C-alpha cells in the first residue's frame, strides 16, 4: 500500500494514540511526539495503516487538549511543529498516515479569540461565540444543560451577558453561524493538510451548529432512552442540528482537493444509527467514517451486537463504511469494560473488531489486551470526569502504555512521576508478548495481516448466519466465516465446511471443520469456507 492509495482508510486499520500516555522521551513523566516516533517500528510491525493522535495543539489542559488555545501549533509539553513534521515523514516511510484531532465546537477560554470576545460587546471576536442576555429573572438564557453537568451558560459579569458552553465553562462554544468562524476553520484544516496530515478526527461532530433561535430543549419523557432521561431533556436544539451537514460538505470538498485526498472521521456521539448514517452525506459527500457509539456502549452480548451491526448495515448507504472501536479515551478499555479483564473474552472481542465489515480503530494497548488502571485521590487528572455523567473520571483508560515489565514500563525512565499511575505491567506488556507467538499481540498482528491478504475481510459484504444462543456467526464476502462464542458454555456451532484461518486458541489454526465448529467459552475463529 502506498501513500497515494486513496482507499487506504477503507482497507486499513487505524490506531488511536493518547500521546501523553504513549512514551515519554524527555523524562517529564508525560508522553510526547518523539515518543510516538520512537515506537513507529512497533506500529509498523503490528501492521496498522494510520494513527490518530489525541489533541496535540497548545491547551491549558482543563480537558486535556480538548480546550484548544492555538489551532496552528504544537503543545510545548508534547513537542513542536518540527517534531510533528518529522513524525509525519517517518510514519510515511513506514506506510503509516497521521490523523489529528480537530476540536471545532469550542475553544479554551484562554484562546485569544475568547479573551478578546469576552472583553466587550463590541470586541472583534465577540460574534465568534454565542452570547445572550440572561432572562429577566436572571436565570440562564435557555434550559440547555452542559454535557459535563449543570447549565450550559456562564454569566460574564463584565458585559452582563452569558456565553454558551456545551462542555466546561472553560470551553466556550464557537458560533458556527458566523461566516468568519467557518473561514478560519477552513484555513486551519488546510494548514494541517498542507503539512501532510492525512485527515482529522472531528471532536463533537454532531454539535457544531446550534438552533439559531436558541429554543429550549423539550423535557425527557418516560419513553425516552436512558441517556436522555438522565439528562432530563432531548438535545435537539443544542446538538444534532441538520445544518451541520453543510460544514462537512464544505470540508469534504477541501479534503478531496488534496492529493492524496484527506479523510474526515466524525465523533458522532449519536444513538440513532439512521442519524449517524446522515453524516456520510446523501451521496458520500461528507465524512468518510463515523464512530458507532451504540456498538461501543453495547454489552458484549451476541444478540445485542448482532442487532446493532445489522441495524448499522441497513442504515448505511452502500458507499458508507462503518467504523468499529471497543476502547477510546472517553469510554475506557474494552478488555475491562466488555471483558471484565478476562483475557479469553478480550481475544474474542479483538477478533470481532478486526473482522466486521468496516474500519477498526484500535486504542493504544488494545493490541496487548491492556486493562484499565484504577486512579483515585491525588492521582486523578480528569477534572471534567469528576463532574460528568459517569462521575468516575476517564483516567483509568488513559494510563501509560505498558511496553515492558521494568519499573517505568518502558513508558518513562522512572525519573519523574508519570502524569497518571502506571499500574502493574508484569502480566500484560508488549515486550513479553512479542516473545510469545500465542499472545494477544501476535493474535492482533496476525489478524491484521489476514485482513490485508483476504479481500473478503477487507471489502466483502456482511451477512449474519444462524447461530445458537450466545454465539454470533457471520459471513464476509463469499468464503470467509467468523464465529464468536460470547458465552460461558461450550457450544457446537454449525458452519460450512472449511479451515480455521485464525482462532483465538492459536493451537487450532489450520484445523479442518466439517459441519460444526466446537467453541469453548469466549472462543472465536475466522474460517475459510467453501464459496457461497
Ligand atoms: C469529546 C472528547 C472528550 C472531550 C469532549 C469535549 O467527546 O472525546 O474527551 O472531553 O469532546 O471536548
What is the percent of the chain where pLDDT is above 90? 92
Nearest CA to ligand 1 atom 9: 330
Residue 339: predicted pLDDT: 96
**Is the pLDDT confidence value at 337 over 90?**
yes
Tell me the CA distances in angstroms from 108 to 37, 60, 91, 207, 238, one per residue in order: 28, 7, 30, 16, 19
pLDDT of residue 388: 54
How many CB atoms lie under 10 A from the CB of residue 235?
20
Q: Is pLDDT at 195 greater than 50 in this prediction?
A: yes
- Mapped onto helix, strand or coil, the DSSP state of residue 350 is helix
**Confidence class for position 287, pLDDT limits 50, 70, 90:** very high
pLDDT higher than 80, residue 5:
no
Residue 8's Cβ-count burial label (10 Å; 0-12, 13-18, 19+) is buried
Q: C-alpha distances in angstroms, 449 versus 433, 444, 454? A: 17, 9, 9
Tally the C-alpha atoms within 13 A of residue 186's C-alpha that lie toward its C-beta. Answer: 17
Provide the grid cell at 456: 473478503
Which ligand 1 atom minimizes the distance to the CA of 329?
9
Distance 64 CA to ligand 1 centre (A): 9
pLDDT of the residue at 387: 61
6-18: pLDDT as tens digits: 789 999 999 999 9
User: pLDDT tens digit string along 131-175?
Assistant: 999 999 999 999 999 998 899 999 999 999 999 999 999 999 999
Place of cell 503543545: 75
pLDDT digits (tens, 9 = 90+) for 362-379: 999 999 999 999 999 899
Q: What is the overall mean pLDDT for the chain?
A: 95
pLDDT of residue 389: 52
Tell me the C-alpha distance between 48 and 34, whole Å: 19
If you measure from the C-alpha of residue 82 to the centroid of ligand 1, how many angstroms do you get, rounded to a whole number? 27
Query: What was the pLDDT predicted at 231?
Result: 84
Residue in the structure block whose three cell numbers are 444513538: 271
Q: Can you tell me which atom of ligand 1 is nearest the CA of 269?
A: 7
Closest residue CA from atom 5 of ligand 1: 66
Encode pLDDT of 61-94 as tens digits.
999 999 999 999 999 999 999 999 999 999 999 9
User: What single string gives the DSSP state of each residue in 397-426?
Assistant: GSPPP---SSTTTTTS-SSSPPSS-----S
**Residue 444 pLDDT:** 99
Pocket test for ligand 1, best of 147, 167, 398 (most atoms within 8 A of CB): 167
Place of cell 453537568: 149
d(CA 91, CA 37): 8
Contact 46, 448 (CB under 8 A): yes
By alpha-carbon position, which residue is closest to atom 12 of ligand 1?
Answer: 66
**Stretch 14-36: mean pLDDT:** 98
Pocket-forming residues, ligand 1, beta carbon under 6 Å: 63, 66, 103, 167, 203-204, 267, 329-330, 384
- pLDDT band, very low/low/confident/very high, at 383 (cuts 50, 70, 90): confident
* Ligand 1 atom 2, closest CA: 203
What letters, b where the CB count within 10 A reaches 16 and e where it falls short, cover 249-274?
eebbebbeebeebbbbbbbbbbeebe
For ligand 1, what atom is nearest to the CA of residue 384?
Answer: 10
> Among 60, 109, 330, which residue has the most ligand 1 atoms within 8 Å of its CB, making it the best to mutate?
330
Query: Tell me, what's the pLDDT at 1?
Result: 39
Instruction: Label residue 34 by pLDDT band (50, 70, 90).
Output: very high
Determine the distance separating the centroid of ligand 1 and the alpha carbon of 265, expressed in angstroms: 14
**Which positions are catalytic?**
203, 267
Q: Which of ligand 1's atoms lies nearest the C-alpha of 106?
A: 12
Per-residue pLDDT of 340-368, as tens digits, reads 999 999 999 999 999 999 999 999 999 99
Instruction: Fill in the DSSP letter of residue 509.
Output: T
Per-residue confidence (pLDDT) for residue 3, from 0 to 100: 44
The preferred substitution site among 57, 61, 63, 201 for testing ligand 1, maximizing ligand atoms within 8 Å of CB, is 63
Nearest-CA residue for atom 4 of ligand 1:
66
DSSP string, 152-182: SEEEETTTTEEEE-SS-TTSPBB-TT-HHHH
How remote is the CA of residue 428 from the centroid of ligand 1, in Å? 28
Give percent of the chain above pLDDT 70.
Answer: 98
Go through the domains of the chain in sequence order and give each one's CATH number: 5-102+179-204+238-448 (3.20.20.80), 461-529 (2.60.40.1180)
pLDDT tens-digit readout, 266-280: 999 999 999 999 999
CA–CA distance, 256 with 245 (Å, rounded to integer): 16
3-state percent helix, strand, coil for the chain, nearest multiple of 5: 30, 15, 55
Take atom 3 of ligand 1 and give the residue whose Cα is closest.
Answer: 330
Provide the grid cell at 47: 501492521
Give the C-alpha distances (Å, rounded to integers) separating 235 from 145, 164, 307, 529: 9, 14, 25, 47
Q: Report CA(3)–ligand 1 centroid distance (Å).
A: 30
**What's the gap in Å between 32 CA and the centre of ligand 1?**
20
- Ligand 1 pocket test: pick from 204, 208, 293 the residue with the most ligand atoms within 8 Å of its Cβ: 204
Would the pTM count as exceeding 0.85?
Answer: yes
pLDDT value at 282 more than 70: yes
If phi over 0 gives left and psi between -120 and 50 gives alpha, with beta otherwise, what is residue 76? Answer: alpha
Is the confidence at residue 312, as pLDDT, over 90? yes
pLDDT exceeds cutoff 90 at 392:
no
pLDDT digits (tens, 9 = 90+) for 426-474: 999 999 999 999 999 999 999 999 999 999 999 999 999 999 999 999 9
Atom of ligand 1 nearest to the CA of 328: 8
Q: Please give the distance, rounded to the nearest whole angstrom, from the Cα atom of residue 382 to the centre of ligand 1.
A: 11
Q: Which atom of ligand 1 is nearest to the CA of 67?
A: 12
Centroid of ligand 1 to alpha carbon of 283 (angstroms): 28
Task: Please state the rounded mean pLDDT for residues 187-214.
Answer: 98
Ligand 1 atom with the shortest distance to the CA of 103: 12
Residue bearing the CA closest to ligand 1, atom 7: 204
Amino acid at each position: 500500500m502506498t501513500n497515494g492509495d486513496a482507499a487506504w482508510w477503507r482497507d486499513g486499520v487505524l490506531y488511536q494514540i493518547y500521546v501523553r500516555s504513549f512514551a515519554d522521551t524527555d523524562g517529564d513523566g508525560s508522553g510526547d511526539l518523539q515518543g510516538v516516533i520512537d515506537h513507529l517500528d512497533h506500529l509498523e510491525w503490528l501492521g496498522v495503516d494510520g494513527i490518530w493522535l489525541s489533541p496535540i495543539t497548545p491547551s491549558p489542559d482543563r480537558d486535556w487538549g480538548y480546550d484548544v488555545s492555538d489551532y496552528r501549533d504544537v503543545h510545548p509539553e508534547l513537542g513542536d511543529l518540527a517534531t510533528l513534521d518529522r513524525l509525519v515523514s517517518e510514519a510515511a516511510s513506514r506506510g503509516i498516515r497521521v490523523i489529528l484531532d480537530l476540536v471545532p465546537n469550542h475553544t479554551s477560554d484562554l484562546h485569544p479569540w475568547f479573551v478578546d470576545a469576552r472583553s466587550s460587546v463590541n470586541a472583534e471576536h465577540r460574534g465568534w461565540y454565542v452570547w445572550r442576555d440572561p432572562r429577566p429573572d436572571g436565570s440562564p438564557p435557555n434550559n440547555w444543560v452542559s454535557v459535563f453537568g449543570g447549565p450550559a451558560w456562564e454569566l460574564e459579569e463584565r458585559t452582563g451577558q452569558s456565553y454558551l458552553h456545551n462542555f466546561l465553562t472553560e470551553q466556550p462554544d464557537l458560533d458556527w453561524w458566523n461566516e468568519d468562524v467557518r473561514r478560519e476553520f477552513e484555513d486551519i484544516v488546510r494548514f494541517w493538510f498542507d503539512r501532510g496530515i492525512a485527515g482529522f478526527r472531528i471532536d463533537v461532530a454532531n454539535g457544531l451548529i446550534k438552533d439559531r433561535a436558541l429554543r429550549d430543549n423539550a423535557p425527557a419523557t418516560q419513553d425516552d432512552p436512558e441517556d436522555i432521561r438522565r439528562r432530563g431533556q432531548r438535545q435537539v436544539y443544542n446538538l444534532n442540528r441538520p445544518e451541520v451537514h453543510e460544514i462537512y460538505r464544505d470540508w469534504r470538498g477541501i479534503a478531496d482537493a488534496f492529493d492524496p485526498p484527506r479523510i474526515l472521521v466524525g465523533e458522532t456521539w449519536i444513538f440513532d444509527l439512521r442519524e449517524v448514517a446522515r453524516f456520510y452525506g446523501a451521496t458520500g459527500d461528507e465524512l468518510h467514517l463515523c464512530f458507532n457509539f451504540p456498538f461501543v456502549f453495547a454489552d458484549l452480548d451476541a444478540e445485542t451486537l448482532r442487532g446493532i451491526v445489522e441495524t448499522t448495515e441497513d442504515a448505511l448507504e452502500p458507499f458508507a463504511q462503518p467504523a468499529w472501536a471497543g476502547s477510546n479515551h472517553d469510554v475506557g478499555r474494552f478488555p475491562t469494560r466488555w471483558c471484565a479483564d478476562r483475557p479469553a473474552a478480550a481475544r474474542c472481542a479483538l477478533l470481532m473488531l478486526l473482522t466486521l465489515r468496516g474500519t477498526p480503530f484500535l486504542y493504544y494497548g488494545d493490541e496487548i489486551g491492556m486493562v484499565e488502571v484504577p486512579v483515585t485521590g491525588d492521582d486523578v487528572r480528569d477534572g471534567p470526569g469528576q463532574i460528568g455523567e459517569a462521575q468516575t473520571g476517564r483516567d483509568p483508560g488513559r494510563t501509560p502504555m505498558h511496553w515492558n515489565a521494568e519499573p517505568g514500563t518502558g513508558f518513562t525512565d522512572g525519573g519523574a512521576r508519570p502524569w497518571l499511575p502506571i499500574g502493574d505491567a508484569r502480566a500484560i506488556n508488549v515486550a513479553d508478548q512479542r516473545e510469545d507467538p500465542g499472545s494477544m499481540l501476535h493474535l492482533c498482528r496476525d489478524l491484521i495481516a489476514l485482513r490485508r491478504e483476504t479481500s473478503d475481510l477487507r471489502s466483502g459484504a456482511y451477512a449474519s448466519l444462524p447461530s445458537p444462543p450466545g454465539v454470533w456467526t457471520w459471513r464476509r464476502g463469499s468464503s470467509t466465516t467468523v464465529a464468536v462464542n460470547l458465552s460461558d458454555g461450550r457450544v457446537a456451532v454449525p458452519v460450512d465446511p472449511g479451515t480455521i484461518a485464525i482462532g483465538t486458541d492459536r493451537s487450532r489454526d489450520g484445523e479442518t471443520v466439517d459441519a460444526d465448529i466446537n467453541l469453548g467459552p469466549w472462543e472465536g475463529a475466522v474460517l475459510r469456507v467453501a464459496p457461497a
